[in-house]
């Protein structure tokens, strides 16, 4: 569901809240950046960028950071080796990373919970493995989480 929201730009970032006149403030509550849009929240907010830089191949960081968000999501599903080495779990784990980044960011803003800086990867891998076991146990095929037009 969250990935659908991301792909259809329906995530309620501060930029989106301001567009809907729910707030006057569009800046990022975490870093103070002037525009907390989806790209900022999921890729470029400094704590998030730090996390991505731990995961992404250094020779792929320019492409990783410049693709439009829908192409970025699709590339992470279809051609993950563009960004990470030999990481077969990446397409399954990637949506959980996005979800956990969003959830962790909101916990920071609304609960003041800064948690561990590097636990999102382990948590996302655990969730991906659990999801694969559940999918395998009921015999379903992989779901297409996001279709890019």
- The contact set with Zn ion (CB under 5 A) reads 28, 30-31, 33, 45
Question: Mapping DSSP to helix (H, G, I), strand (E, B) and coil, where does residue 142 land?
Answer: coil
- Nearest to Zn ion of 45, 73 (CB atom): 45
Q: How far is the CB of 29 from Zn ion (least distance, A)?
A: 8
- Nearest to Zn ion of 28, 93 (CB atom): 28
Q: How far is the CB of 25 from Zn ion (least distance, A)?
A: 13
- Nearest to Zn ion of 36, 76 (CB atom): 36
- Nearest to Zn ion of 25, 130 (CB atom): 25
Q: How far is the CB of 100 from Zn ion (least distance, A)?
A: 16
**8 Å CB contact between 46 and 54:** no
Residue 16 and residue 124: Cα distance in Å, rounded?
26
- Nearest to Zn ion of 28, 97 (CB atom): 28
Q: How far is the CB of 54 from Zn ion (least distance, A)?
A: 17
Q: How far is the CB of 126 from Zn ion (least distance, A)?
A: 26
**8 Å CB contact between 3 and 145:** yes
Q: How many CA atoms lie within 13 A of 112 on its CB side?
A: 0
Nearest to 104 by CA among 113, 91, 96, 95: 113
Residues 6+ apart with CB under 8 A from 140: none
Distances (CA, A) of 139 to 68, 127, 134, 142: 34, 18, 9, 10
């Amino acid at each position: 569901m969250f990935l659908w929201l991301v792909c259809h730009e329906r995530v309620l970032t501060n930029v989106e809240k301001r567009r809907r006149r729910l707030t006057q403030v569009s800046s990022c509550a975490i870093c103070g950046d002037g525009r907390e849009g989806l790209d900022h929240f999921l890729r470029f907010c400094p704590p998030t960028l730090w996390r991505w830089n731990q995961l992404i191949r250094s020779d792929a960081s320019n492409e990783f950071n410049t693709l439009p968000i829908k192409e970025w999501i699709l590339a992470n599903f279809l051609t993950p080796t563009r960004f990470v080495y030999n990481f077969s779990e990446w397409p399954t784990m990637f949506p959980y990373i996005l979800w956990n980044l969003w959830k962790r960011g909101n916990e920071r803003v609304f609960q003041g919970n800064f948690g561990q800086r590097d636990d999102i990867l382990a948590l996302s891998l655990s969730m991906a493995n659990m999801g694969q076991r559940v999918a395998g146990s009921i015999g379903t095929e992989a779901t297409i989480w996001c279709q890019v037009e």
